[in-house]
Structure 1
Amino acid sequence: MESKRAIVIPVTLKGPNYLLWSRLTKTAIGGKGLWSHCISDAPNDSKGVATQAEGEAGSKPVSEDRWLQEDLTVLSILQSSLDPSILEAYSYCESAKELWSTLKKIYGNLSNLSRVFEIKKAINNMSQEEEEFTTHLGKFRALWSELEMLRPQSFEPDVLNE
């Protein structure tokens, strides 16, 4: 990790906001060069890497130790961005990749019809009232962007019906 500045995810995952949370998390973690921890396992290739103490039995390559340290850092960042109820349910995950893929399976269902319904309902019930126009427009665009991500990218009737 190049920088010692703490990585903070500006949104807490509460379930329905998975798409926003995942985009912001990918940006924050990827910006520090640590995204590979969420999508791949530890590298197995240790050719040409110096060990901690030459000749010491059971010594790990330095890169493996660094990978483990970075993976635990990413795991900690992910865990700190979860709502307490979600954190409690998924605290058993031992690697960043395991936690990321588990959360994606549970909350990242792109054909989530209940979420599509919630977004459409929220868009239909929007009212500017005393709110500034730019604030109101921002909320509308955020909902519309999420709806676009959830809609199928096809015009085939079978796909749309599903």
Structure 2
Amino acid sequence: MNSLIVVLSSMLYCLPGSGRSAESYAQRLPSSDTTAVNVQQSTPNHSVINPAELITYAQSFKGVPYKYASADPEKGFDCSGFVLYVFKHFNVNVPRSSSAFAKIGKRVTLDEAQPGDIILFTGPKSGTTRAVGHVGIVTEGGTTISFIHATSGKAYSVIETAMTPHYRKRFVKIVRVLS
């Protein structure tokens, strides 16, 4: 994965790889006072992942359209494809299907939820079955749970959502995969 490092008036900004090429960013930059350098992303030490970095990276995809069976920001994401793509960026292996998330990680209660945990819900049309059909990443824990996810609902994109009564009814569990 590539990152783009941009120097503007002696300030350094790094735009994490988003599937877009460095050249596409560089073409949009003013030519005076700007230097763009395409750099291979180093393999970080993943023994400890900063959840805030994971959340910031996930939030950089807000507005990417929903696309069934996709884990590609250029085409769109489905819910599990989005979670997979974000965690893969940090070299954390997670399943590709939402139902498989029920079998990984350490289960934690809603009260114990922390940013970076994975929140599991039933699918939107699951009826009486409690099978996992939707996943997201917790962005805020405690008494005001919120999460980021790729939704096929009204927004039809990657959005951040509070734990509304609609989602509370569909809630299955939270799993922690980060140590």
Q: TM-score range with shorter-chain normalisation?
A: under 0.3
Larger radius of gyration: 1
Q: Greater share of helix residues, 1 or 2?
A: 1
Query: Which structure is richer in relative contact order (CA contacts within 8 A, separation 6 or more)?
Result: 1
- The two structures have a TM-score, normalised by structure 2, of 0.22
- The two structures have a TM-score, normalised by structure 1, of 0.24
